[in-house]
Amino acid sequence: MQPMHLGLSGLLFIGFLSFATILGGGGVPSVGTEGLVILVALAALAFLTVKADGLDGRLPATAWIAVAALPFLIALQLIPLPAAVWTALPMRGSLASALQSLEGDLPSWPLSIDPASTWWSLVSLAPPIAAFVMAYTLRRDLVPAVLLAIALLAVASGLLEASQALVGDVFFIHPRSIDAGPSGLFANQNSQATFLVIGIVALITLALMDKRVRKWRPAFVAAGLFLVVCVLMTGSRAGTTLLIVPALLIVAVAFARSSNKKTWAIGSALGAASVPLLAFGLLQIEQVRKLADRFSDLSSGRAEDIWPDSLYLAQEAWPWGMGVGTFRHSFELVERLEVVDQTTANRAHQDWLEFVIEAGLPGAILLAAAIAAIVWSVWKKRKRLGQAEVFSIVVLIVIALHSTVDYPLRAISLAVLASTAMAWILSDGTHLEKRK
């Protein structure tokens, strides 16, 4: 690969992406590291405001609308409402009783049942917003450098995961609520698995869509296989299932770029035939055998204990929602007595459902608009999809699929990658309004 002149914009973006990935994987329990990433994001946005050459172009009005939509919705949930208004909202009876016992008269209160949690959710948007702004305006010739940085970060997280598996707690960098598999740069082994899959996607996109890296392809293959093993070692069923996505990406890109479809078909058949042999080899690893045993028992506490009550909560909180970031407090209002124990359901383990619980109908409309904008942008560029677009489409598919059984976007590092992917899809990188 030829040396790249990253310039200020490239250095800023890769530096920020790396910083957010290393420290932003702890989730809400890691207030210190998350807070540091948020402060750096705010500092980066302030710097880009005064430093004209920090970006390669300006964001159009439509991009600013995309940036401001979710923060605006959350800010609305923090506006104090008269007691007569907020007490009429669904699921506010317990809150009203508690406040009345403490203060006598009911005070003004926002839509959110826990404003502190919603405020934290609002400021936590600073890192993905900063990433969106930098990615949207980034020159397309710098995309390979960003993909390489993501791949290297994934390998580093895989190496950290290996150290955790061999040595133990001393190598975990975030507090963990459960004693599960090794999790690399994350507190959650499922988020680690998703990040490693994204790293594999970055390697595939580089290896198959950039002629400059031909001599490095063996190294990319080795790194990809290492990341596959690391995904399996996390013990994440969701992450292991998501490995199907990069496998399909290899087939799709190879088919699109193959001049000899017969050779492609033979190669695909040989690849499929090698899967059982590879699976047999991997099953000789004890951790992989434990993972296979988990697939043999698909019963899940989240399906039996959390999802039914979460669905009921979504129905009861409709159409206004309970406030972004308040799931834990909201869930306690509806949790069935027969499933109550010493543990606490911090998340719904179904992020699509959790977002509807927290944001209600306005959030559902916003989500539908975002999906429509992404689909429309991909459709417009369907005949000229480059590295940035292919990588971004697959990353959003991976995160969307994982969100059906977990909460990847609640980790700042994965939210930064998702906002980067969305920015690259919405911007084609050729019609940026240049700074004068």
Checking if the pLDDT of 286 tops 60, the result is no
Query: Torsion angle, CA of 306/349/187/287, rounded to 10 degrees?
Result: 90
Span 160-186, average pLDDT: 81
Q: Which amino acid is at 410?
A: R
Share of the chain above pLDDT 70, in %: 84
pLDDT at 339: 73
Span 27-56, average pLDDT: 85
Query: Torsion angle, CA of 124/128/133/139, rounded to 10 degrees?
Result: 150
Query: Comparing C-alpha atoms, which of 198, 129, 195 is closest to residue 420?
Result: 129
Checking if the pLDDT of 248 tops 60, the result is yes
Distance of CA 204 to the CA centre of its chain: 19
Lowest-confidence segment of 38-47, 281-290, 424-433 by average pLDDT:
281-290
- Residue 433's pLDDT band (boundaries 50, 70, 90)? very low
pLDDT at 55: 76
pLDDT, tens only, 355-365:
999 999 999 99
- Residue 436's pLDDT band (boundaries 50, 70, 90)? very low
Q: How far is CA 306 from CA 153, 309, 331, 348, 376, in A?
A: 33, 6, 9, 6, 35
Span 28-49, average pLDDT: 90
Span 206-213, average pLDDT: 84
Q: What is the DSSP letter of 54?
A: G
Checking if the pLDDT of 285 tops 90, the result is no
Span 94-102, average pLDDT: 85
User: Per DSSP, what are the bridge partners of residue 433?
Assistant: 58
Query: Comparing C-alpha atoms, which of 314, 147, 276 is closest to residue 216?
Result: 147
In sequence order, the 6+-apart residues with CB closer than 8 A to the CB of 141 are 4
Q: With contact defined as beta carbons under 8 Å apart, do 359 and 320 qualify?
A: no
Checking if the pLDDT of 31 tops 90, the result is no
pLDDT at 153: 97
Query: Comparing C-alpha atoms, which of 28, 24, 186 is closest to residue 117?
Result: 28
Q: How far is residue 111's CA from residue 96's CA, in Å, rounded to a whole number?
A: 12
Lowest-confidence segment of 82-96, 302-316, 349-363 by average pLDDT:
302-316
Span 130-140, average pLDDT: 93
Q: Mean pLDDT over all residues of the chain?
A: 85
Alpha helices (H) along 59-169: 61-76, 83-86, 93-103, 115-123, 126-136, 143-167
The torsion angles phi and psi of 81, rounded to 5 degrees, stand at -115, 150
Checking if the pLDDT of 299 tops 70, the result is no
Q: With contact defined as beta carbons under 8 Å apart, do 41 and 129 qualify?
A: yes
Q: Pick the residue with more confidence: 356 or 301?
A: 356
Q: Pick the residue with more confidence: 259 or 76?
A: 76
Sign of CA dihedral 70, 401, 142, 230: positive
Distance of CA 78 to the CA centre of its chain: 25
Span 315-336, average pLDDT: 92
Sign of CA dihedral 166, 172, 178, 180: negative
3-state secondary structure of 60: coil
The whole model's pTM is what?
A: 0.90
pLDDT at 270: 52
CB 287: neighbour CB atoms within 10 A? 16
Q: With contact defined as beta carbons under 8 Å apart, do 409 and 434 qualify?
A: no
